[in-house]
Chain A
Amino acid sequence: MKRNKSFYASILLLAMVLIMGFATFCLASEGGGMPIEAPAGHTPAFGNLYVIGWTAVNFFILLSLLYKFAYGPIYKMLDERTASIEGSLKHAEEVRVEVDELKKESQANLAESRKEAQEIVARATKAAEDAKNEILAKAQGDAVNMKAKATAEIESATAMAKAELKDNAVALAIMAAEKVLKRAITEADHKNMVSEFVNEAGDLLC
């Protein structure tokens, strides 16, 4: 263990003090007129009724003083503090309940608005789908119509072309026959013969 200067200094001081103390004791024992006299106390007499009475009176005065200035105000303050803390806690609880309610409400609102939004989207989607289907159906109908019309036109054109072709063929055949035969046949016979031929030829052609 390291011992520093202050340790030795304090030992020295203590030694000096003890020596001085001893010197005082020696002086005192010789009755050198010291300020402190030798203790000459004795146990106090027991049953000093005046002291007992005074002490009891004094103690109850102390008790009443403490009741007046300490216990009364401090216990009252404690009760007030308890009441105020309880009030604060109660208030906090109320606020908490309120906040909970508000939260619940806002959550309900949120859910509702979300549902509404979903409904709107669903409705819009359905409307769009409907429109799409309608347009599609209409387009299909138009296409079918157009196709039918075109087919009809084609058919009529074909028929017309056929008829024209037939007529032309008949005229040609007549011309050819006239040229070949160079003889007069009754117009009616002629026509019958040719048209028979043409019909056959036409069937083959078409």
Chain B
Amino acid sequence: MIFGMWDGALFHIGPIPVDHLVVTEWVIIALIGIIAFMATREMQSVPKGLQNAFEAIIIFTYDFFTQLMDEEHVAKKWAPLLTAFFLFILISNYSGLIPGAAHIAGFQPPTSNWNVTMTLAVITFFSVHVAGFSEHGGHYLHHFVSPSPLMLPLNLVEEVAHPLSLTVRLFGNIFGEEMVIAFLLFMAPFVVPAAIMGLSLLLGAIQAVVFTILSASYIAAAAGKGH
């Protein structure tokens, strides 16, 4: 078995191949879903335990995006999506730190594959334009030719550059981190990788936050008063 940035199907459901990281995605989604279900099973007005912790995360992210996006109705509309990005990316990043990640078949951190990060970035891309059109209607198109029609090509390039940078940044960081840990594990399997894994804890959180904040700022820019 090679060090697994597996690039092939683990098994097939009918004609559709299921990759290793897709299985990991399922596990991550199930985990988040179960935690959410457990936390909100018996909602109490005065929260405690798991409900308190989970509520704190949801409310913190909501407040965070509200502050970031200036306009509360926009933040209210898009905070759920951004919080989902954050939770999914954070847990995906951290899943690479679990022993056996990328060594056990069907267990590969999804964010270390750029098909996954590109999908997330494309969701951001569509969200940005949906937010822009829903806030400004047809007038939203005007921002592609502002400040002058000469800027149209540059503006279009910018629109493509945003999701591209999101894709490559997240994929590169996590893939690189996974590779470094893998090589260190191979060269000096005791203690030494722990230092890099400590850094990876930081890096995973930072990348999740960066992806989410950038998505939020793109949406805020499209939905904001600037257009």
Q: Taking beta carbons and an 8 Å cutoff, which residues of A are in contact with B?
A: 14, 17-18, 20-22, 24-25, 28, 36-48, 50-52, 54-56, 58-59, 61-63, 65-67, 69-71, 73-74, 76-78, 80-81, 84
Contact = CB atoms under 8 A, between A and B. Distances in A.
B19 A54 contact: yes
B187 to A, nearest CB: 5
B29 interface: yes
B84 A66 contact: yes
Contacts of B224: none
Contacts of B26: 58
Main secondary structure of the interface of A (DSSP, over half): helix
A70 B39 contact: yes
Interface in B1-35: 1-5, 7, 9, 16-19, 21-22, 25-26, 29, 32-33
Contacts of A42: 5, 7
B84 A77 contact: no
Nearest to B118: A52
B35 to A, nearest CB: 9
Interface stretch (B132-140, B175-183, B215-223): B175-183
A70 B25 contact: no
A171 to B, nearest CB: 130
Contacts of B188: 17-18, 21-22, 24-25
The 7 closest A-B pairs by CB, nearest first: A21-B188, A39-B3, A40-B2, A69-B36, A51-B115, A41-B5, A55-B119
Contacts of A24: 187-189
A66 B36 contact: yes
Interface in B28-84: 29, 32-33, 36-37, 39-40, 43, 45, 47, 54-55, 58-59, 80-81, 83-84
A62 B33 contact: yes
A40 B3 contact: yes
Contacts of B33: 62, 65-66, 69
A63 B116 contact: no
A22 B187 CA distance: 7
Nearest to A56: B119
A61 B32 CA distance: 11
Contacts of B144: none
A41 B179 contact: yes
Given A46-B115, A77-B43, A21 B5 contact: no
A203 B189 CA distance: 161
A84 to B, nearest CB: 7
Given A46-B115, A51-B21, A54-B25, 4 more contacts: A21-B188, A50-B17, A54-B18, A77-B55
20 contacts: A22-B187, A25-B186, A37-B186, A50-B9, A50-B18, A51-B113, A54-B25, A55-B110, A58-B22, A58-B25, A59-B88, A59-B119, A62-B88, A63-B81, A65-B32, A69-B36, A70-B39, A74-B43, A76-B43, A78-B59
